[in-house]
Amino acid sequence: MLSIEEPAGETLATRSPALETSDIQATVLRPRPKPYCGEYVILRIGNAGQAREMLRRILPHVAPADEWWVPSLPGWLGIAFTFEGLKALGLPQASLDSFPIEFRQGMAARAETLNDFGANAPANWEHPFGTPDAHVALAVYAKSNEDLQKVLDLARKSHHDLQQISVVYRMQFGELPDGRNPFGFKDGLHNPHVEGSGPAGDGTAASTKPGEFVMGYPDERSETAVAPIPEELRRNGTFVAIRKFHMDVAAFRRYLRAQASSPEEEELIAAKMVGRWRSGAPLVLAPDRDDPALGSDGKRNNDFGYADDKKGLKCPFSAHIRRVNPRDALNDDVVAVNLHHFLRRGTNYGPPLPEGVLEDDGAERGGVFLLIGAHLHRQFEFIQSQWVTDGNFISHGTEQDPLIGNNDGDGVFTIPRTPVRRRLHGLPRFVTVRGGEYCFMPGLRALRWIANLGQ
């Protein structure tokens, strides 16, 4: 049952109940381990009974958030289901019908809302993303390959003798040297802090109400989820938008080379596009040159807002981090940014492109992101459609995110500057969507409820 902490001086009325971290999956609340490696696996269910048997076997191994620091396994396992997967598991029709429309339609069918067209169109996605065959998604993390294999082995044993459960996708992921992303940037520096989830990591950002990220608790609208039904299914569950991205590092390097007249200028342009220098130092705090000490200081590299940068002279309005997380930049607008956050769990995959190489080597590399929130439509879908693939919210017309927008050789990126702004043209598509799915990531009791269906 709920444990409600009441430190001296506070009342129930002023705080949300503490989160049931023993029931919420670790993947929702915890960052990836350091170092990290792992696998994503997608399963197809051909028989509801066998699927539930698999679930019964795998249940004891699903990592709860309160065991993050001292896991019972040599790694962590998370499990989630697409709508097709929940159907294949034999969920009652009333439950299925109670899920929000965007989840029922699936990410591929929402391409028009998400502006997933051209190279990002679902028709170009890797199989089985976007097809009715993607049912169960497993995320397995570990600190070493040896540990990873032990956990994978347990996962495999949960279904290897069940003929109607098949592996339809597998991919490995792992940290790059230096803990940087394929573009050479320190990544995964910021996430909203979930009230009640444990000690706050960074800076001054206020906690976000837990119901934004986990069902069963009040959200930023002071509402608690009433769907999906029944309560046992939704409590401590949430939605995950899985997005697999390919990163064209060579194209990124070539573009910087073409736009700059020196290596220093290349670094500045790259930082202007991201909103941080490669070390992680935010432009707002280090507008002219990188500050690696700041970049690696977890207490300082997120302690900023845009109140002192109203003209975007330090960090462009169109920079990636300013778009996906506007912080206080939209305070004068009729937008409630606290309704539009998601938790971002990202892992990189593929080998690094060696330093100085400007031609693509054909290797698959990039990042897989689990974008977590209890309201797909006003969280992931809102950010993607309003802040990433459009520029009107910052008076930039149809200009898109320089990194992940739909730039197809005709992209534009505006860098505010005095006396005259600089505008880059001809941005290619640096990041391409290789596939994605909307998943429901249930709490541990809910997993048991699903496993016990039909009994």
Q: Which stretch binds other proteins (CB under 8 A): 201-209, 231-239, 291-299, 391-399?
A: 391-399
Tell me if 112 contacts other proteins by CB under 8 A: no
Beta carbon nearer to other proteins, 36 or 380:
380
Q: Which long-range contacts (CB under 8 A, 24 or more apart) does 421-427 make?
A: 424/259, 424/269, 427/255, 427/402
Q: Which of residues 433-452 bind other proteins (CB under 8 A)?
A: none
Instruction: Give the torsion sign (CA, 57, 451, 135, 232).
Output: negative
Beta carbon nearer to other proteins, 332 or 355:
332
Of 73, 168, 335, 453, which one interacts with other proteins (CB under 8 A)? 335
Beta carbon nearer to other proteins, 76 or 317:
317
Residue 38, beta-bridge partner list: 141, 173
By CB neighbour count within 10 A (0-12 exposed, 13-18 middle, 19+ buried), where does 23 fall?
A: buried
Q: Which stretch binds other proteins (CB under 8 A): 100-108, 197-205, 360-368, 388-396?
A: 388-396
- What one-character-per-residue DSSP string does 168-191 give? EEEEEEEPPGGGB-TTS-B-----
| CB-based contacts of 216, cutoff 8 Å, min separation 6 | 20, 224, 225, 231, 234, 235, 236, 237, 443
Beta carbon nearer to other proteins, 327 or 448:
327
Give backbone dihedrals phi and psi of 180, rounded to 5 degrees, phi first.
Answer: -100, 165
Beta carbon nearer to other proteins, 133 or 390:
390
Q: What angle do CA 424, 429, 435 make, to 5 degrees?
A: 150
| CB-based contacts of 151, cutoff 8 Å, min separation 6 | 61, 73, 74, 75, 76, 77, 140, 142
- CA–CA distance, 248 with 455 (Å, rounded to integer): 50
Of 103, 382, 430, 438, which one interacts with other proteins (CB under 8 A)? 382
Tell me if 336 contacts other proteins by CB under 8 A: yes
Q: Which stretch binds other proteins (CB under 8 A): 47-55, 145-153, 197-205, 389-397?
A: 389-397
- The whole-angstrom distance between residue 358's C-alpha and the CA centroid of its chain comes to 28
Beta carbon nearer to other proteins, 344 or 378:
378
Q: How far is the CB of 102 from other proteins (least distance, A)?
A: 12
Tell me if 313 contacts other proteins by CB under 8 A: no
Q: How far is the CB of 406 from other proteins (least distance, A)?
A: 16
Q: Which stretch binds other proteins (CB under 8 A): 96-104, 252-260, 332-340, 428-436?
A: 332-340
The pair of three-digit structure tokens given for residue 290, joined into one six-digit string: 């990188």
Residue 184's CB: how many other CB atoms inside 10 A? 18
Size of the site for other proteins (CB under 8 A): 16
Of 11, 395, 418, 455, which one interacts with other proteins (CB under 8 A)? 395
Tell me if 385 contacts other proteins by CB under 8 A: yes
Of 221, 417, 445, 448, which one interacts with other proteins (CB under 8 A)? 221
The radius of gyration of the chain's CA atoms, rounded to the nearest angstrom, is 22
Binding-site ranges for other proteins (CB under 8 A):
221, 332-336, 338-339, 378, 382, 385-386, 390, 392, 395, 397
